[in-house]
Chain A
Amino acid sequence: MSGRRLSQGGLIDRSRLLRFRFDGRDFTGHPGDTLASALLASGVRVMGRSFKYHRPRGLWGAWFDDPNAVFNVRLRGDELPNCPATTTALVDGMQARAVNAWPNAENDLKGGLDLFHRWLGAGFYYKTFMWPDWHLFEPSIRKMAGLGAVDGKAIDGYVADQLHDDCDLLVAGGGAAGLAAARAAAEAGYSVVLADDHPTLGGSLYQGDEPIEGEEPQAWVAAQVAAIRAAGGRILTSTTVFGLYDHGLAALAEDRGFARAPRLWRLRARRTLVATGAMDRPITFADNDRPGVMSLQGAAEFLGRYGVLAGQRIAVLSNNSHSAPIVARLRAAGAEVIEADPAEGAPRALGGKRLSGVQIGARKIDCDTLLVSGGLTPTVHLWRHAGGKLDWSAEKAAFVPGAGPDHMLAAGAANGTFDLDPALAEARAAALGTPHATGASGYRVRPLWPQPGSKGRQWIDFQHDVTLKDVELAARENYVSVEHLKRYTTLGMAADQGKTANMAGLAAMAAIQGRPIPEVGTTTFRPPFVPVPMELYHGTRRGQAVNPLKRLELEPQHRAAGAAMGEYGGWLRPAWYGPEDQSAITAEVQAARQAAGVFDGSPLGKIEVMGPDAAAFVNFIYYNTIATLEPGHIRYGFMLRENGLIFDDGVIARLAEDRFLISCSSSHVAGVEAMLESWRQDGNDPDRIFVHDTTQHWATITVTGPQARAIVAALDTGADPATLAHMTLTEGRFGDSPLRIARVSFTGDASFELSVPASRAADLWQAVLAAGTPLGARPIGLEAMSVLRAEKGFIMVGKDTDGETMPHDLGFDVPRRKKKAAFVGDRALQTEAANAADRRQLVGLRVADSGTVLPTGAHIVTGDGPQRSIGFVTSSYFSPTLDRPIALALLESGQQRIGDRVQLRHLGQSLSATVTAPCALDPEGERLNA
């Protein structure tokens, strides 16, 4: 005889029947049941197989402390692995299957593995499967171990709602202490959130028969709930506070039903009260994992909440005063209870898949169920998450909250206050911040810890199959720190995170070493308190929202023109126009060189620097001298970091005496703006310099090529492009909008950058193409632009530079030698390293065989002796203009090597090339004014 449903009692609705299957058999339960309570009520004993040895396992606890009953659960086509049976609410139609067991938990084919337990001790796989290679064995071992299997099917709409909120007081735990505290605080005017992981509040109140403050538990709970709500407090049931983080941030997972993603609350609480209760500890004895050995507290919960009597003939093994009211309750419910004292002798559980009795020293008790209580352990996880310390209470044989951050409070059983009335008084005082003296505790416990050297297989960690012998082995091999013990044996590393195992494990280590328990200490408590789906952290940041790109105003026009789009520096931009890349890129480059290319340059930075000190400031920021720049003129330059390395390049225009426009690289706008702000406020007078990032107000269309001037002239802008010199800027009109025309060139051909407010971008695009198409112009993408600039040897920062490149490595040496004013990075350009003869310098590479485009990233290597990399290819393309491959590279002493033949290596392939100047097209710059 094992568990059965009583005709009355509990919080379930007996008027409705829910049907479900477990391991191929049909069962029923009621609303209010968990999978575990419904199975226990149906007499099921074996609900799982252990992780390593495939030992039969039954229920230990009734809630989050149960390590044994772990199911794959399917409901209407949705399947979730690794559902704890004790915390999974029963739903009509569920199909559950014990994990790690085949064909089922009752008759598991791998049950024979247990016979080999001698060879499967802690760390066995490190020692046994060394030769010839662990990886040979790894797949089959991994397959044998482990928990549930995923069915590989994503659940529709499984998206976590995530939100932020705040409150004055968060109460974690809706038992007696939590309810009393929440009510007191809410009635005192605090904004209160009370969260409890059960669907029904009341915590451990249903375990005994005692009235609370003169009322039946359910009536008392209802009264507190009504009072909290009336005072404006919020109550979240089925919601686990699973982590506490810095500065009062709590993470809550709100259960929204099976196969629905929980809701994540990021709750900022000014104060947090830990009222999470206490857990019954297992007793470590031989075969203490037999199905039928259960937690006394768990049995009380099954009785109180679900109306299920765990067994009929029940032996109770307890070392503490907490058991008396539960024993009385079990007897009142009709069980035959035999109490035993663990001091009588070393216990041993008897029987096979089902418990048949317990031997205690010389005494043998026949029973179908053995309820054990090794003492109460306060649930201090959240206290530790928040940085609270633990004190060892010898009187209570437990770690209890000690010193903690000011905003952290603990009350009730979580605080080691196990008696009801003192817990209520303590909780109310904590909620109101009033002083409170804890009275004498009525709780009595005799220390009872694992006995090293004792006989039999004694489980410490049920879920990860760690026994006392494994702890002893770890100690022999000198893994004596609890953190090492944990990693070596995997004690406490299962999905239950050692809720029932950690105390036994560290007490065993203490006993082995003859050290006091507090000296051994605990492992680190980390969130999440219970497993939560990864989805909880994921939410709506999925698909395109994972790392969204910035989007161009002209994206619809690009798509309509058949653009292939790609990510360039955080923007989605046209790569080329047409169905196939190479032919499109070639055609675009040819059009740009022979007629005109029309390029969407909108992401190009447009940061304005204004104010009386603006000129001095940009002169300090830039490597190049900017102070001498005339209004209306543009200069190319570099920004460095203080270590002399290139941070960004681009052009800067002087719009007026006290107004500059910085066109930094498209992908660096935010970084450049933050860098400017840093220097502005640190070392300069921020009242005389202002930095406005106007990048996204403007759309920029670049027209480049021999026909560019004619196209711009056709636009009726009020400005004459013919008189606009290279590296100057002017303002015109586009209809009734302002238009900025800058003559700068990234292609080596005459180029005009036309900027209008973004809302006019489509009109300008259309106008430019209307004027340009008859002249042979066409839109060009980023890839063609990359080729065009590489033909000229123009660099792209981050592509043709790396984390060692200084401006003189690119041939820009004048400011380093001549600039008088201080500038960012100046001193770093004069160091020994900056002057080294073997610095990598920018060069071009020309291959002999005109068909071979060098692979980007190929290493240039020394020719003789052991090969050494002396540089690498940074950009490499086939140039349609020159009808041959071109390449840029960074090469040690590159300037001295111009004309040399060099060897290259790439993925085992050998290549050769001749070092040239970076510029391969029109080195005299005649095309600019053609």
Chain B
Amino acid sequence: MRDDSQSWAPPPDHSQPLHGAGVTVTRILPVRQTLISAPDILTRQPAALGWPDVATGDRYSLCLRRDRVLEINGPERAAGWHDGQAISDITDGLIVFEIAGAAALALIQRGTEISERQPSRSVQRLGFGTELMLYRWEDRLRLHAPRADGPALWHRLKAHLDLMG
């Protein structure tokens, strides 16, 4: 058996923002993230955002799939199958980064093929080797990623900021 603990730097401290190339990456902590799936979820939540729609404020929904949204800071909902909807609390399952600055999109373009000229109904995409939910929030970008991929994603974003700077 081999001890690889030295081959892997301890997870980064997400509480300190990343700066570089006029871009700031900050971890934000939504109070609640809820996965809601239903055949008619996009009828129930027609405002669920795609790309490059712009979210504002504290509470909004992201369109993930034909039949699934991610509700940010919505009402507390009982998990399970209720009222024709499948509901799961995923607050701690997704890590959320906010990217501010003029080159925010340029940073993201280091890791995924994305363009404001190419709209998409879903905010989910692959980027930097992981699954991202990526969208515009006010004058910034926000992305949600699987929690356990957060350290790797942070590492890549930092490497690209250093290169761009």
Contact surface of A with B, Cβ cutoff 8 Å: 159, 161-166, 191, 266, 268, 540-541, 544-545, 548-553, 555-556, 559, 563-567, 571-572, 575-576, 581, 603, 608, 610-612, 614, 655-656, 658-659, 686-687, 690, 692, 694-698, 757-759, 783
Contacts and interface: CB of A to CB of B under 8 A. Distances in A.
Given A544-B9, A548-B152, A556-B10, A164 B147 contact: no
Contacts of B3: 564-566, 575, 581
Given A164-B110, A692-B37, A697-B88, 5 more contacts: A163-B109, A541-B156, A545-B155, A563-B5, A656-B81
A619 B80 CA distance: 19
Contacts of A575: 1, 3
A655 to B, nearest CB: 7
Contacts, number: 153
Contact of B148 (A266, A551, A564, A565): A551
B11 to A, nearest CB: 5
B117 interface: yes
Contacts of A759: 91-92
A159 B163 contact: yes
B2 interface: yes
A571 B148 contact: yes
A164 B106 CA distance: 9
A757 B1 CA distance: 31
Contacts of A692: 35, 37, 86, 88, 90
B114 interface: yes
A166 B4 contact: no
B8 A545 contact: no
A610 B147 contact: no
A694 B110 contact: no
A696 B81 contact: no
Nearest to A564: B3
B66 to A, nearest CB: 9
Contact of B10 (A553, A555, A576, A603): A555
A163 B149 CA distance: 21
Interface string B11-24: 10000000000000
A164 B89 CA distance: 34
A559 B5 CA distance: 8
Contacts of A566: 1-4
A166 B114 CA distance: 9
Nearest to A689: B86
A163 B81 contact: no
Contact of B86 (A545, A576, A581, A690): A690
A696 B93 contact: yes
B150 to A, nearest CB: 7
B148 A686 contact: no
B147 A758 contact: yes
Contacts of A163: 106, 109-110
A164 B112 contact: yes
A551 B151 contact: yes
Contacts of A550: 146, 148-149, 152
Nearest to A658: B81
B152 A610 contact: no
B58 interface: no
Nearest to A542: B159
Nearest to A268: B113
Contact of B81 (A548, A553, A614): A614
The 10 lowest CB-CB distance pairs between A and B, nearest first, are A548-B152, A697-B93, A564-B3, A550-B148, A690-B86, A565-B5, A687-B39, A758-B92, A610-B86, A540-B159
B137 to A, nearest CB: 21
B152 A166 contact: no
Contacts of A162: 110
Given A694-B90, A758-B93, A565 B8 contact: yes
A567 B7 CA distance: 11
B118 to A, nearest CB: 7
Contacts of A545: 129, 152, 155-156, 159
B164 interface: yes
Interface of B: 1-5, 7-11, 35, 37-39, 67-68, 80-81, 86, 88-94, 106, 109-110, 112-115, 117-118, 129, 146-152, 155-156, 159-160, 163-164
A268 B5 CA distance: 40
Given A163-B110, A540-B160, A758-B92, A548 B155 contact: yes
Contact of A576 (B1, B4, B115): B1
Nearest to A562: B5
A567 B4 contact: yes
Given A166-B117, A565-B3, A548 B129 contact: yes
B151 to A, nearest CB: 5
Contacts of B115: 164-166, 268
Contacts of B109: 163-165
Nearest to A757: B92
B130 to A, nearest CB: 8
Contacts of A690: 37-38, 67-68, 81, 86
Contacts of A166: 113, 115, 117-118
A551 B81 CA distance: 30
A237 B152 CA distance: 34
Contacts of A576: 1
A551 B11 contact: yes
Nearest to A697: B93
B163 A540 contact: yes
Contacts of B68: 690
Contacts of A552: 148
Contacts of A540: 110, 156, 159-160, 163
Nearest to B112: A164
18 contacts: A164-B109, A166-B117, A541-B156, A544-B9, A551-B150, A552-B148, A553-B148, A559-B10, A565-B8, A566-B1, A655-B80, A658-B81, A692-B35, A694-B35, A697-B89, A698-B93, A759-B91, A783-B1
A572 B151 CA distance: 12
Contacts of B152: 544-545, 548-551
A581 B155 contact: no
Contacts of B92: 696-698, 757-759
A543 to B, nearest CB: 9
Given A551-B151, A564-B3, A565-B3, A656 B10 contact: no
A556 B1 contact: no
B142 to A, nearest CB: 18
Q: Choose among B92, B93, B113, B156 the residue with the greatest number of A CB atoms under 10 Å from its CB.
A: B92
A567 to B, nearest CB: 7
A730 to B, nearest CB: 15
A565 B163 CA distance: 30
A159 B68 CA distance: 39
Q: Choose among A548, A549, A694 the residue with the greatest number of B CB atoms under 10 Å from its CB.
A: A548
A571 B148 CA distance: 9
Nearest to B163: A161
Contact of A555 (B11, B37, B67): B11
Contacts of A698: 92-93
Contact of A697 (B91, B110, B159): B91
A677 B12 CA distance: 34
Nearest to B130: A548
Contacts of A614: 81
A757 B129 CA distance: 25
A564 B5 contact: yes
B67 A548 contact: no
A408 to B, nearest CB: 20
A432 B109 CA distance: 29
B155 A544 contact: yes
Given A555-B10, A610-B80, A611-B86, A696 B37 contact: no
B16 to A, nearest CB: 16
A820 B32 CA distance: 43
Nearest to B107: A163
Contacts of A559: 5, 10
Nearest to A655: B80
Q: Choose among B5, B109, B151, B164 the residue with the greatest number of A CB atoms under 10 Å from its CB.
A: B5
B159 A553 contact: no
